[in-house]
Chains A and B, each alone.
Chain A
Amino acid sequence: MYSYLLPEFLVERRGDRCIKCRVCERQCPNGVHRYDVELDMMFSQERECVGCQRCAVFCPTGALCVQPHPASYRPNASWTREKMQDLKKQAETGGVILTGSGNDKPYRIYWDHLVLNASQVTNPSIDPLREPMELRTFLGRKPDNLQVEIKGDRVDITSELHPNVLVETPILFSAMSYGAISYQAFLSLAMAAKKYGTLFNTGEGGLPREMRKEFGANAVVQCASGRFGVDPEYLNCAAVIEIKIGQGAKPGIGGHLPGEKVSANIALTRMIPEGTDALSPAPQHDIYSIEDLSMLIYALKEATNYEKPVSVKIAAVHNVAAIASGMVRAGADIIAIDGLRGGTGAAPKIIRDNVGIPIELALAAVDQRLREEGIRHKCSIIAAGGIRCSADVVKAIALGADAVYIGSAALVAMGCTLCQKCYTGKCAWGICTQDPYLSRRLNPEIASERLYNLLKGWSNEIKEMLGGMGINAIESLRGNRDHLRGVGLEEWELNVLGVKGAGE
């Protein structure tokens, strides 16, 4: 069938700069660039271009410019170019339209409507360069009260403590499985997490055996509906075990890692036969209620001798506060909430763009509800889904999070340009692909350094912001909504967020 689709990107090549070195041709996994030997000319097949900018970055003479294609239909606020293109694509294939990365629709980003406080005159700000500033965070259940015994100079805690995990900064890498991302990208996340003293999350694709000893102590291992790669050693080598109920990009639905991506090593890590679809069912079939969730939480605690905190990750949906309360009552030590803008390697576009609620509202609602019920200390909260910079982290913590997960931000640090073509397995940046030719572009030594730098830069920025507020420990900011004010928000939004408007 002849395709009626318009090209998405325009590839312009400046003839006066192009030296026909063919770098673009080698770098593009989509076959956009082609050199014709007889004519000694470079040609572009821009219909195939996904706009990942790999060629433009690697062009040694800066001869390439890739930009969204200006050709469009008659402007129409309702029937946008994207809507019409999707219609044509479905008319041609009859398929469910897939996409990658997070929701790109213009839902209100509340981070951009919240501003932070700073100390002026009435209280001193702190200079983090010269004064101690604490970002250390303990994740896990805290005791109801702390009983101590004082013997001379010694102070011993006599209350029974629950397992907690220490992270040096309240920034964790979000769940991205080996299979969704390349081995190199997966390893880079693990290396950076270890070096900085934080955690990475294996996603539901297992943890390769050779990585368990070295990186287990920095791993959050997931136990998801597919139970891929879950064996007793996997659970016992980890820092935290996370039950994945849902994901912000695709609440309520399962996942399919297509068979062609299930290579020998991925099959081994996921513990499934090579070449079969890795199907993650939509529900966990042993969890149909809070009581069942409790059963799995304690099954995992039993399997690890009650030595590790168990996290439960859900997508932010309408009744998130009530659900979170149930999760804490079910025994979750950590609850991770993934908002509307959370990323994915593959999701039906219609789900990604329409299901779930923004993390800011969900987080505020959950924190508020747990406080009202007097059970906030029984869990740590990790916020995820659209954390783009250190200010988002600070605002999330002020809204009640203990820490945040970053996924897309970490990928962008490694080279990702959010072209949203993760599901094709042809990532030019070597991140979201299992093609060895592409994945070896990502050097874990260098990529982990980029990630480490990101954590370092953000952490320093967080210290600056805390210092400005006159706070010297991240713990004092947690749920401290007095340090937030809303700008350009409706009253109901301010109410849900639990913050005052600016000037109030």
Chain B
Amino acid sequence: MAVKCARRGLRDMFLGDVRPLAQIRSHLQLNGWEAEIDARGLVHKELNDLIREAALGGARKIVLYNVSGQRYIGTRLFLPQKVEIHVHSVPGNDLGAFLAGHRIIVHGNAQDGVGNTMDDGEIIVHGRAGDIVAMSMRGGKIFIRDSVGYRAAIHMKEYTGKVPVLVIGGTAQDFFGEYMAGGIVIMLGLNLKPGERHHAHYIGTGMHGGVIYLRGEVAPYQLGKEVGILEPNEEDQKVLEKYVGEFAAHFGLEAGEILKDRFIKLLPVSKRPYGRIYAY
């Protein structure tokens, strides 16, 4: 019955060998409103300790260099002052998770969980992003220049005028917009070849709130059975102009060129997709 294991077998997955702030402070250069951090050789907690230190020390613009996979950038900043973080190289998972109103600009690709349960703020990725982008996001904006992975926009939600926005320049993998309960998602398909369809299947499956705008081809079988296709109306056009405009401005593109192509709008057919499966 008894399971025998090494008694000292526990290795702290994240906190092992974390150095105190005093030992890593040399990675931080704080010059008034601006701070620079060299992330080389820092584990995730050390980097985030320094980011917090910089923000508390008065920095409003924090530039990170040599980031290579450190997680939770921007998460530990539940502070009244808002900062702008520039990330050079590749941030790790959960970039901007629970983000409290800050602005993060990634000059490169991002990994999984960008904007996980993000509350407010802005994330701009000059590249691609991995899976579950904007999962459970409830406010703020995310702009991804290229494509995203699986289950992007899953369970995004909105309430009382707080509407999250996700704009993806390329395409997405399966289960795009799954369980969506609110928010605005725009996918532009800019990197699709002529005649190439969007990559996602089960788009909007289980969706019961919010709206998805798609530019580029999708076949009906790629859509979940909980969504219906509509033509964008004038109101939608305004929404598209606003957010595609912002997208284009971030990445130096021509909004008019993008907007002149056909968009379709996906809406949930019911606010209660599973109301009828139970016996009371």
A contact set with B: CB distance below 8 Å: 89-90, 92-98, 223, 226-227, 230-233, 235-236, 256, 258-259, 267-268, 270-273, 275-279, 281, 285-286, 291, 294-295, 298-300, 302-305, 321, 328-331, 348, 368-369, 372-375, 378, 423-424, 495-496
Contact = CB atoms under 8 A, between A and B. Distances in A.
11 contacts: A231-B138, A232-B78, A272-B159, A273-B158, A276-B181, A295-B94, A295-B113, A300-B98, A303-B97, A329-B13, A373-B5
A428 to B, nearest CB: 16
B155 interface: yes
Interface stretch (B61-69, B214-222, B238-246, B271-279): B271-279
Given A231-B119, A272-B182, A299-B94, A373 B7 contact: yes
A329 B280 CA distance: 42
A161 B97 CA distance: 26
B8 interface: yes
Contacts of B160: 268
A267 B273 contact: no
A299 B72 contact: yes
A179 B162 CA distance: 21
Interface in B1-39: 1-5, 7-15
Nearest to A236: B78
Contacts of A95: 276-280
Contacts of A300: 98
A286 B274 contact: no
Q: Which of B71, B98, B206 has the most CB of A within 10 A?
A: B98
A232 B100 contact: yes
Q: B interface, how many residues as a size bin?
A: 35 or more
B72 A271 contact: no
B154 interface: yes
B278 A98 contact: yes
A92 B48 CA distance: 58
Interface string B40-76: 0000110010001000000000000000000110011
A263 B164 CA distance: 21
B109 interface: no
A298 B72 contact: yes
A306 to B, nearest CB: 8
A303 B98 contact: yes
Contact of A233 (B78, B135, B208): B78
Nearest to A496: B1
B136 A273 contact: no
Contact of B13 (A227, A233, A331): A331
Q: Which of B3, B112, B136, B271 has the most CB of A within 10 A?
A: B136
A242 to B, nearest CB: 15
B103 interface: no
Contact of B273 (A277, A304, A373, A423): A277
A226 B179 CA distance: 9
Given A256-B274, A303-B75, A305-B76, A294 B13 contact: yes
A230 B120 CA distance: 12
B279 A90 contact: yes
A298 B3 CA distance: 28
Contacts of B3: 321, 369, 372-373
Contact of A232 (B4, B10, B119): B119
B257 to A, nearest CB: 34
A268 B123 CA distance: 25
Nearest to B276: A95
Contacts of A331: 12-15
Nearest to B1: A495
Given A232-B78, A331-B12, A285 B155 contact: yes
Contacts of B201: none
A500 to B, nearest CB: 15
A267 B72 contact: no
Nearest to B137: A227
Contacts of B112: 286
A258 B76 contact: no
A374 B277 contact: no
B209 interface: yes
A268 B138 contact: no
B242 to A, nearest CB: 21
Contacts of A424: 280
A490 B135 CA distance: 48
Given A302-B72, A423-B280, A259 B275 contact: yes
Given A96-B279, A273-B209, A298-B72, A286 B13 contact: no
Nearest to B100: A232
A423 B1 CA distance: 41
Contacts of A285: 132, 135, 151, 154-155
B271 A279 contact: no
Contact of A96 (B12, B157, B158, B278): B278
Contacts of A281: 155, 179
Contacts of A97: 278-279
B97 to A, nearest CB: 5
B75 A299 contact: yes
Contacts of A267: 159
A304 B151 CA distance: 27
A486 to B, nearest CB: 16
B116 interface: yes
Nearest to A230: B117
A258 B272 CA distance: 7
Given A95-B279, A294-B14, A277 B76 contact: no
B147 interface: no
A331 B44 CA distance: 15
Nearest to A321: B3
Contacts of A96: 277-279
Contacts of A89: 279
Contacts of B181: 272-273, 276, 278-279
B171 interface: no
Given A227-B136, A272-B157, A277 B275 contact: yes
A-B complex: 6 closest residue pairs judged by Cβ atoms = A95-B279, A227-B136, A374-B7, A93-B279, A303-B98, A302-B75
A273 B119 contact: no
Contacts of A369: 3
Q: Which of A90, A235, A321 has the most CB of B within 10 A?
A: A235
A372 B157 contact: no
Q: Which of A223, A236, A271 has the most CB of B within 10 A?
A: A271
A29 to B, nearest CB: 14
A324 B115 CA distance: 28
Given A95-B278, A271-B157, A286-B112, 12 more contacts: A223-B117, A227-B136, A232-B119, A233-B78, A271-B162, A277-B272, A277-B275, A279-B206, A285-B135, A302-B98, A331-B14, A373-B3
B116 A286 contact: yes
Interface in B167-222: 179, 181-182, 206, 208-209
B135 A286 contact: yes
